[in-house]
Structures are given as structure tokens and as C-alpha cells.
């Protein structure tokens, strides 16, 4: 089997319209994102796929998401690889649906692709508005469960915004996927090659469920030092990962482009535990199995 190469980035958080760059960034987020794409071309990485795993825009309208789609189409053409996106907690779902998808009533955005006899799942872990934590709806989990059973022998790789729980991230449970056990129960026994996430604004790699590797990529916009569980220090930063898959095994290399020394902001956290309330029951949701590319 040939190598399959993925450029994985997350959390560009582009400031659009009159919005100021989040966390008092010294370099505008759009310039950081362009620097990343320029580096992919300069390094001649030649990926087969580019994935942006959420928090695309900060305060974006439908027009902003439409413009962002046109920008990504241009970058995809120049690099020679399709760009796939998923939603993060800061994205506006309605504006994304209208501007990016041109499907105003799409309840959530999850889909599956097949490349070189491997399955790639892109899940939508965005919860309710103003919720930093993640959640996978039961309807989406049922779809994932059914899809995995339809192709039990194919190696599967999963992308989503929110990382899974692990002892090293115990003090950040307020920001992680809240229904980890439900997801792992579905993945158990299947041929899962890896789970790839964003959201943390720093890189992390660990194992869940006795062997499934989870890799969280750093942010395109900032690096956040979370060593103090109640005061997180924010720095300017640019980072992305290159995932190389061969014979069903994924290896990940990190490409850091910027780590600013000054602390540009401080995030104060009071409750570091899981969210106390589960989401309210919602109407049945229709999944998008293939993106409109």
C-alpha cells in the first residue's frame, strides 16, 4: 500500500469583520494560517489530504464562512490536495451551514470518506452554544456504529475537535469530550488506527481503551500553557502535524513554526471537572456522509 499523507491543523480562529484577534495576538491569525500553508508548499510535503479540525472562525457570519471556503479552495488548488473541515466549539453552526455548506438547515456536519481502502470519519463534537466541552450526539454515534460494522476489516481513522479523557488531562476535563465512554464502547473491537483532535492549543499523544492512539495537534494561532490548572498562559504560536499512514499504521511528525515568548493573555479556570449536565434531547439529525467538495 502506498503512503497516505495528511496535513493536520486546528484552531486557526480567524478574526473576521470587526473582530479583534483572540487573546491579544501580536500576529493576525490570517497571517499565521497563510504562513502554515506556505510552509507546506516550501517543505514539499505534498499531502493527499488536509484536515482542519475546528474553531475555524471567531465571530464569523455566513458571508465570512463563504469567503473562508473560497480561500481554502484557493489553497487546496495551490497545494494540490483537498481540504476538509470540521466544526469546533467556537464555530457558529448556522453561519457555517449557510455560508460554507450552502445548506442552511443542516443540523450537524459528520461524514465518512474512503481512501486507499481505509475509512476516515470526521465527527462533529460541537455541543451547545457557549459550551467549550464536546459531545457526540446519540444519532451520530449510532451512524458511526453502523458504518464501522459495515466495513469491519477496513482500518479506520477518526478526526474530531475535542480530545478524549486521559489521566494526564484530568485537570482539563471541562474542555474534553464529555461522553468518552459511549464513543469507546462503539470503537471497542474495531480496527481503529488512530483518533486525531485539536482544541487544546498544545500537542498531546496518548493511548485510550488499551491501545487506540490519540493525537491532539497544537493550534495554528496560539500556544496555551496549561501547567497551572486554574491559570492558563497564552502565547502566539503556529504548529501543525503531518500524519503518514502506511500499511495501516500512522506516524505523526510535528512542525512548529512559531512560539512567542511573551505571555499575551491569561485564561482563568474555576471548575476543571466534567460538565454537570448532559445535553437536552434534540430532534433527530441528518448526517452528511460525503462533504460537498
Domain range list for the chain:
4-268
Lowest mean pLDDT among 7-21, 116-130, 145-159, 242-256: 7-21
> Is the pLDDT score of 205 beyond 50?
yes
Strand order in the sheet with 204-208: 111-115, 118-122, 155-159, 192-197, 212-216, 204-208
For the segment 43-56, the average pLDDT, to the nearest whole number, is 97
For the segment 170-185, the average pLDDT, to the nearest whole number, is 96
pTM score, whole prediction:
0.93
pLDDT for 107 equals 77
> Is the pLDDT score of 241 beyond 60?
yes
> Mean pLDDT over all residues of the chain?
92
Lowest mean pLDDT among 5-9, 118-122, 129-133, 137-141: 129-133
pLDDT for 15 equals 85
Assigned CATH topology for domain 4-268:
Purple Acid Phosphatase; chain A, domain 2 (3.60.21)
> Is the pLDDT score of 108 beyond 90?
no
Percent of the chain residues topping a pLDDT of 90: 82
pLDDT for 277 equals 77
CB 50 within 8 A of CB 81: yes
d(CA 142, CA 89): 22
For the segment 232-253, the average pLDDT, to the nearest whole number, is 97
pLDDT for 282 equals 47
pLDDT for 18 equals 60
**How sure is the predictor about 280, in pLDDT bands with cuts at 50, 70 and 90?**
low
**How sure is the predictor about 142, in pLDDT bands with cuts at 50, 70 and 90?**
very high
Amino acid at each position: 500500500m502506498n503512503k497516505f499523507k495528511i496535513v493536520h491543523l486546528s484552531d486557526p480562529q480567524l478574526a473576521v469583520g470587526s473582530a479583534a484577534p483572540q487573546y491579544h495576538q501580536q500576529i493576525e491569525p490570517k497571517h499565521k494560517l497563510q504562513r502554515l500553508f506556505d510552509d507546506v508548499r516550501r517543505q514539499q510535503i505534498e499531502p493527499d489530504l488536509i484536515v482542519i479540525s475546528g474553531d475555524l472562525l471567531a465571530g464569523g457570519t455566513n458571508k465570512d464562512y463563504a469567503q473562508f471556503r473560497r480561500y481554502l479552495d484557493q489553497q487546496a488548488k495551490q497545494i494540490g490536495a483537498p481540504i476538509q473541515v470540521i466544526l469546533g466549539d467556537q464555530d457558529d453552526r448556522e453561519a457555517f451551514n449557510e455560508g460554507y455548506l450552502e445548506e442552511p438547515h443542516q443540523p450537524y456536519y459528520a461524514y465518512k470518506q474512503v481512501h486507499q481502502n481505509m475509512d476516515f470519519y470526521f465527527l462533529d463534537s460541537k455541543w451547545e452554544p457557549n459550551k467549550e466541552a464536546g459531545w457526540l450526539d446519540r444519532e451520530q454515534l449510532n451512524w458511526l456504529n453502523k458504518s464501522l460494522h459495515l466495513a469491519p476489516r477496513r482500518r479506520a481513522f477518526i478526526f474530531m475537535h475535542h480530545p478524549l479523557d486521559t489521566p494526564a488531562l484530568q485537570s482539563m476535563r471541562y474542555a474534553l469530550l464529555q461522553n468518552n465512554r459511549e464513543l469507546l464502547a462503539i470503537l471497542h473491537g474495531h480496527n481503529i488506527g488512530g483518533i486525531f483532535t485539536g482544541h487544546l492549543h498544545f500537542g498531546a499523544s496518548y493511548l485510550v481503551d488499551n491501545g487506540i492512539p490519540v493525537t491532539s495537534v497544537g493550534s495554528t494561532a496560539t500556544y496555551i500553557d496549561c501547567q497551572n490548572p486554574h491559570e492558563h498562559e497564552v502565547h502566539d504560536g503556529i504548529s501543525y502535524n503531518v500524519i503518514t499512514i502506511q500499511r495501516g499504521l500512522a506516524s505523526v511528525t510535528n512542525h512548529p513554526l512559531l512560539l512567542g515568548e511573551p505571555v499575551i493573555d491569561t485564561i482563568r479556570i474555576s471548575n476543571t471537572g466534567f460538565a454537570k449536565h448532559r445535553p437536552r434531547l434534540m430532534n433527530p439529525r441528518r448526517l452528511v456522509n460525503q462533504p460537498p467538495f
